[in-house]
Amino acid sequence: SQKIEQNSEALNIQEGKTATLTCNYTNYSPAYLQWYRQDPGRGPVFLLLIRENEKEKRKERLKVTFDTTLKQSLFHITASQPADSATYLCAHPGTGGSYIPTFGRGTSLIVHP
Amino acid sequence: DAGVIQSPRHEVTEMGQEVTLRCKPISGHDYLFWYRQTMMRGLELLIYFNNNVPIDDSGMPEDRFSAKMPNASFSTLKIQPSEPRDSAVYFCASSPTPGQGEGYTFGSGTRLTVV
């Protein structure tokens, strides 16, 4: 079965720096991957979807890449702010019409002022 | 739209009691998902519905768990009898047909504590 792996260790960075989070998957390459943000006590919030034929996608200060050779997606936040502190989840929404979404455990990002 | 609405937000119950969690998806979303999140296991899919029909319930832990979707605007997840190991945050999420550019919209969750 498909597995999504994210770094379980928290990422600590200084305000203004670029945060880079990693999502690796096993087995087959999905048609797309999704990234979510989750704040404590809240449900995940959808941020971006990137398709396998898209090398890169941007939304404001966010950038996502998708490398099917490495079986990896990178999530970047440029000019990070303390308000960006949260847990970021990667998700593979299933393929072949069987929409069985698999989420990674998420990586906690802490941006220090 | 008010988003996905879940109730209650918190539930504390004694072992052996029946627990019912409720969810109102976003109008027009054809898919509804029930997830459970714990520190140990992360976010686990329990069951999902398409057009009110259960499609895959292989994530349901055991027969004590059941889910229904009687109409497009309401779903329930029931645990009977509840056990302490069921303590977790339960999320409901809905989406239009996946892969169209929108992700899943999650509710705020129900934090269940079984004592």
**Binary contact (A100, B105; C-beta < 8 A):** no
Tens of pLDDT, residue by residue over B39-50, are: 988 999 999 999
All residues of chain B having their beta carbon less than 8 Å from the beta carbon of residue A93 are 98-99
Residue-level pLDDT at A1: 65
For chain A, what is the total number of helices (H) and then of strands (E)?
A: 0, 11
> For residue A30, which of A51, A6, A57 has the smallest C-alpha distance?
A51
pLDDT tens, chain A, 113 aa long: 678 899 888 999 999 999 999 999 887 777 889 999 999 999 999 999 998 889 899 999 999 999 988 989 999 999 999 999 999 999 987 766 666 778 999 999 999 99
CA dihedral sign, ordered B102, B37, A91, B46: negative
Say if A2 is an interface residue toward chain B (CB within 8 Å): no
Return the higher-pLDDT residue of B32 and A25: B32
Instruction: Specify the 3-state DSSP secondary structure of A8.
Output: coil
Candidates B21, B104, B108, B111: best to mutate against A (most CBs of A within 10 A) is: B104
Enter the tokens of residue B66.
């059941």
**What are the phi and psi torsion angles at B52 (to 5°)?**
75, 0
What is the DSSP secondary structure assignment for residue A30, as one 8-state letter?
P
Tell me if chain B has a CB within 8 Å of the CB of A93. yes
Beta-carbon contacts below 8 Å between A and B: 56
Structure tokens at B97: 């047909």
Q: A-chain residues within 8 Å CB-CB of B91?
A: 43-44
* Res B14 pLDDT > 70: yes
d(CA B61, CA B41): 13
* pLDDT value at residue A98: 65
Put simply, the answer to whether B99 touches A93 (Cβ < 8 Å) is yes
Half-sphere exposure of A32 (CA within 13 A, CB side): 16
Contact between B86 and B112 (Cβ < 8 Å): yes
The predicted-structure confidence for B57-96, as pLDDT tens digits, reads as follows 989 988 999 999 999 999 999 999 999 999 999 999 999 8
Interior CA angle at A67 toward A64 and A69, to 5°? 170
A65 beta partners: A56, A74
Contact between chains at A100 and B109 (C-beta distance less than 8 A): no
Smallest CA–CA distance, residue B104 to chain A, in Å, is 7
